[in-house]
Structure formats: structure tokens, C-alpha cells
DNA sequence: TCACTATATTCTCATATAGTAATAAATCAA
DNA sequence: TTGATTTATTACTATATGAGAATATAGTGA
């Protein structure tokens, strides 16, 4: 069983690390996070995402391809349009965790500033 | 309380998205994940991480700088050495979640293959 | 069939990043 | 001080990636 120190993490092959890294990489672009955020609200077509995000159609389409390949976004054809939706609820958990991470760091930095407010 | 549709996500500024993306980006490299994985086992010096990861010293040092800047790894000087450690337990949660995400996709793909084992 | 529309793809360019080698900086021992 | 050791930094190269323009593809309707 586990002894006192941190439970030993399971071994991880290079291939597994590469796959995990690829998924984090899919979440490492602001525009892709913006698209995911918009999709958490409701399903949208590619065109709607382009307009709502303020980015070009080609660019949005390419970023959506990355998210689709990462298993985070799904699509279905509806007439001419491509309707996009969040395919994996884990995406929201990941982003929430990261937001929490960020918030913690910001508040700790704010505290540090409060101790020395000469800037 | 919550109504039926997905709870509306809070608004997110471009600046916030950029910061979140930067943190995911820090986790988007296989070598950095390898370093984190080694550090989950126990604290290690830069040199130990270089040897254990099989990468060069300069490269490991640069990747550690990224992880430190992302608030994921902390360091302290101990004589000549720099001892590195996981600074934020959230890192493990994030990686566990992503592993889970990956595992789900793999098993679903495996099932898909099992339905048509002609390859 | 012929436009028209929505999306995907390709091409090109600029920028970012990983890796390595060389070097600088800091610490310890003799 | 001199020399050895550990880490950080810099310079360089190769590759990856984001953005936009142009084009291709496919569905829709006249």
C-alpha cells in the first residue's frame, strides 16, 4: 500500500506524455479558450463563433479543427452550417481548475503588493 | 439557483484568457510534464532532473524557468544545487483530469476498433 | 444548371519555441 | 586565490504555429 510520502505516481511513457501535452496544447491559445467559453453558453455555428470572437472565418475554422482533434469540441452539419458544441464536459472542469489556480496566484500577488504599496 | 440550461459562464476578458492560456501552455510540452511527474515523486535538483529525464542541463533549466513562472514549480538554493519542488498541488489535479480525459478517449477508440477488427 | 452561402483548405509570412553549444555566474574545497 | 561544480543565460538553428488572403468544396434555392 501507500506509505507516508506522496503516493507514487504511476509510470508514464513518453508517448503518453506526448498525448497529454497535445491536449494541454489545444487549450493553450486564447482564441481557442474564447471559442470554448462561447460554446459553454450554447451551441453555435462556425460563422457565429467567428463573429462573436471577432476573428476571421478561416482562423476560427482552423482552431476548431484543433479542438475537434483534441476531442473537446464536436460538430454536426445542419444545412450549410456546421454547428459546434462542447464534446467533453471535462473541458469545463479543466478550465475551472485553471481559473482557480490563476485566481489564487493573483490574490497572493495582490497581498504581496498590499504589504509594499510603494508602486 | 441553477436553471435547466448550462449555468451561464462568467464573462472572461481577453487578458484573463491570455493568462489562462499561458498556464496551459506551460503544461503543453512533454519534457515539462516529465519534470513535473518526477517532482511529484520527490524533490530533485536541476542536475538530477536532467539525468532522470535524459535531457540536457540547459534545456531542463529553461523548461524549469517556464514552470516556475507559471507558479507550478518552486525552487530553493541548497549549496551549489537548486532544489525543485511542486509549488501548486493543483498541478496534479490538472494532470490527473487530463489523464482521465485521455483514458476515456482511448477506451472509446478501442471499443470502436473492437467493432471492426479488420485492421 | 447557375449563383449564393457557409465552411474547409491551402499558401504565405511573421513569430514563437525547443534543442544544443558555449559561456557566465555563483558556490564550495583545497 | 585557484580550480571544480552546478546552474542560468545567451546565441544560434530548425521547426511549429497563428493570422490573413485566396481558393476549393459542398449544400441551397432559383
Grid look-up 489562462 returns B20
Task: Name the residue closest to D27, CA to C1'.
Answer: A80
A101–B95 CB contact, under 8 Å: no
A9–B90 CB contact, under 8 Å: no
- Which ranges of chain B have pLDDT less than 70? 1-9, 109, 113, 115-119
The reply to whether A25 Cβ lies less than 7 angstroms from strand D is: yes
Query: B66 CA, D4 C1': separation in Å?
Result: 29
Q: What is the pLDDT of residue A115?
A: 62
Q: What is the pLDDT of residue B119?
A: 42
Query: A68 CA, C15 C1': separation in Å?
Result: 25
Write the DSSP string, A21-86: HHHHHHT--HHHHHHHHHHHH--EEHHHHHHHHT--HHHHHHHHHHHHHTTSEEEEEETTEEEEEE
DSSP 8-state class, residue B41:
H
Q: What is the mean pLDDT of chain A?
A: 87
Q: What is the pLDDT of residue B118?
A: 47
If you measure CA to CA, which chain B residue comes closest to A95?
B20
d(CA A64, CA A32): 7
- Residue A5 pLDDT > 70: no
Among A14, A90, A97, the residue with its CB nearest the CB of B101 is A90
Residues of B in contact with A20 (CB under 8 A): 30, 33, 95, 98-99, 102
- Residue A2 pLDDT > 70: no
d(CA B67, CA B84): 10
Domains and CATH numbers, chain B: 18-115 (1.10.10.10)
Q: What is the pLDDT of residue B69?
A: 94
* pTM of the shown model: 0.87
Q: Which long-range contacts (CB under 8 A, 24 or more apart) does A13-22 make?
A: A14/B30, A14/B34, A16/B102, A17/B30, A17/B33, A17/B34, A17/B37, A18/B30, A19/B102, A20/B30, A20/B33, A20/B95, A20/B98, A20/B99, A20/B102, A21/B27, A21/B28, A21/B29, A21/B30, A21/B32, A21/B33, A22/A70, A22/B28
Q: Does B25 touch chain A (CB under 8 A)?
A: yes
Q: Does B111 touch chain A (CB under 8 A)?
A: no
Q: Which residues pair with B47 in a beta bridge?
A: none
- Residues 5-64 of chain B sitting with CB below 7 angstroms of strand D: 45-48, 50, 57-58, 61-62, 64
- Mean pLDDT for the stretch of residues A99-109: 79
Query: A30 CA, D16 C1': separation in Å?
Result: 17
Q: What is the pLDDT of residue A119?
A: 43
Residue A41 pLDDT grade (very low, low, confident, very high; cuts 50, 70, 90): very high
Amino acid at each position: 500500500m501507500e506509505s507516508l510520502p506522496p503516493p507514487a505516481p504511476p509510470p508514464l511513457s513518453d508517448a503518453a506524455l506526448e498525448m497529454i501535452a497535445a491536449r494541454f496544447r489545444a487549450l493553450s491559445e486564447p482564441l481557442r479558450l474564447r471559442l470554448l467559453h462561447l460554446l459553454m453558453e450554447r451551441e453555435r455555428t462556425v460563422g457565429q463563433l467567428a463573429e462573436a470572437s471577432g476573428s476571421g472565418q478561416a482562423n476560427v475554422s482552423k482552431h476548431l479543427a484543433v479542438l475537434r482533434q483534441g476531442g473537446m469540441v464536436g460538430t454536426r452539419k445542419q444545412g450549410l452550417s456546421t454547428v459546434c458544441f462542447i464534446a467533453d464536459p471535462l473541458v469545463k472542469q479543466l478550465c475551472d481548475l485553471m481559473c482557480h489556480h490563476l485566481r489564487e496566484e493573483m490574490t497572493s500577488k495582490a497581498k504581496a503588493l498590499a504589504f509594499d504599496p510603494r508602486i
